[in-house]
Structure 1
Amino acid sequence: MEQMAQTLLEDGQAHLAVEAALAVVAAEPLRESAHRVLIDAHFSMGNRVAALRQFDQCRALLAAELGLQPGEALAASAARAHGSAAITQAARRLLTGVEAAITPA
C-alpha cells in the first residue's frame, strides 16, 4: 500500500496518494516512510500546514513510543514543506542533539 501511495504521488495523483498513505499510517503508525509519503503528498497538493502537522504528529509518536527523533529522510520532507533553511538546521540539531542557535548565513 505504501508503494502504491508513492507511485500515485509520482504520477501526480496526490489526493489518492494521501488516502493510501493515511491507510498505511493508520495500520503502521511507527513507519516513518509512510509518514514521509503522506507529508510529501500533502505538500504537493499545496497543503503545507497539513504536511507540517503530520511531521509533528510523527515526531511526537516516535518520541513517546520509542524515545527516538525522526530520521533524516522524514526531516528532509518536513524541511521541504516548510520551505526554509531554518527548519533544515533545526532538524539537523534535533537529529544530532546539538542545542546551538541557528546562525544566519
Structure 2
Amino acid sequence: MIEILWGASASEGAVATLESYVSGIRRAIQPGQTKTGPLRTANSGYVLDPQLVDLDLWDFRQLVRSAGQASPADAYPLLLKALEVSAEPLLGFELVADWADEARTRHSAEKVAAQIFAAETAAVLDKTDEAIHWAQAAIRSEPLNERAWTVLVTAYERAGLPVEGLSAYDRCRRLFDHDLGCAPGPALQAAHLRLLRQRAEGNAELSEVLAALLYLGERLDGPKRQPHAAAESRRMHENAGRVLDSFLQRVRAAV
C-alpha cells in the first residue's frame, strides 16, 4: 500500500502515516466497531469488505452490470442512476498520486461506455432527445469514439433532424480524417446515406441529384452491364451527368 501511495518518495515514517490514515477511515465508517466493521486488520495488512460499506464506484459498476442483464425498459433507469452516482470526479481530492490518475483514467473509460450504453438504450425506447444528450456527453470525453458518433447520427435520423445529423457526420468525418487519417466506418456511412435521402425527400432537385450520384456510384462499384444494355446504360449515364452538371452550375452561380 505504501508503494502504491508514495512510491519511491515514501519517507521513513510512511508506516505510521499509513496507520494514522487507516485509523481516520475507521473512525469515519465504523465508529465503535473496530473489530467487526468493514475495515479489519488481517495478516499484517487490511481487508475491506465491500458488502459492509457503501462505495460509489462499487455501486456504479454493479448498476451497469445489472443494466447489461436487463431489458431496455428496466436497464435505462439503472444506467441513469449509475451515471448520477459517477457525476462527481473520481478521487477529486487526490490530485498528485499516480495510482489516482490510473484509477480516474480507467473509470473515465467505464463512464463513457455507460453513456453510450444509455444513449443506445434511450434510442431503442424512442427517447431520441436523451439518446442525443448521452451520445454528445460521450463524444465530449472521447471525440474519436466511433460508436458514440454512430449513436448520435442515428439518433438525429430517428428524430427526423437530417440537417443536424448531416452536420454531426461532417464533424466526425473531418475529425477522423485529421486525427486518424481514415473515414468513418460502414455503419456511420450507411446512416449518412439515409440522412441524405431524408434531407432530399422534400426537395425535388436534391432528390434528382442524389439519385444521379447513387446511380453513378453503383455503376463504379457494380458489375458491368451486358452488351445489349449498353445503349440504355449510356443514356442513363448522360442523364445523370446532365443533372449533376446543371446542379453544380447553379451552385457556382449562387456562390
**Is residue 2:146 matched to residue 1:40?**
no
* Counterpart residue number, 2:143: 29
* Counterpart residue number, 2:225: none
How many residues in Structure 1 have an aligned counterpart in Structure 2?
92
Counterpart amino acid of 1:50? E
- Residue 29 of structure 1: SS of its match in structure 2? coil
What is the alpha-carbon distance in structure 2 between the residues aligned to residue 73 and residue 41 of structure 1? 13
Match of 2:179 among 61, 65, 75: 65
Cα deviation for residue 68 of structure 1 reads 0.8
Match of 1:81 among 195, 208, 219: 195
- Residue 70 of structure 1: SS of its match in structure 2? coil
- Residue 174 of structure 2: SS of its match in structure 1? helix
Query: Residue deviations 1:38-75, cap 9 Å, x none?
Result: 00111111110000000000000000001111111110
* Counterpart residue number, 1:2: 116
Cα deviation for residue 33 of structure 1 reads 1.1
* Counterpart residue number, 1:50: 164
**Is residue 2:120 matched to residue 1:14?**
no
What is the alpha-carbon distance in structure 1 between the residues aligned to residue 149 and residue 142 of structure 2? 10
Query: Residue deviations 1:76-102, cap 9 Å, x none?
Result: 111111126646x49xx8xxxxxxxxx
Unaligned regions of 5+ residues in structure 2, if any? Answer: 1-114, 198-209, 222-236, 241-255
Report % sequence identity: 32
CA RMSD of aligned residues (A): 2.0
Cα deviation for residue 11 of structure 1 reads 0.4
- Residue 53 of structure 1: SS of its match in structure 2? helix
What is the alpha-carbon distance in structure 1 between the residues aligned to residue 181 and residue 138 of structure 2? 22
What is the alpha-carbon distance in structure 2 between the residues aligned to residue 7 and residue 79 of structure 1? 23
What is the alpha-carbon distance in structure 2 between the residues aligned to residue 35 and residue 78 of structure 1? 11
What is the alpha-carbon distance in structure 1 between the residues aligned to residue 193 and residue 145 of structure 2? 19
Counterpart amino acid of 1:11? L
- Residue 160 of structure 2: SS of its match in structure 1? coil
Counterpart amino acid of 1:61? L
> TM-score, normalising length from structure 2?
0.34
What is the alpha-carbon distance in structure 2 between the residues aligned to residue 82 and residue 33 of structure 1? 20
Bigger CA radius of gyration? 2
Point out which structure has higher relative CO (alpha carbons under 8 A, 6+ apart).
1
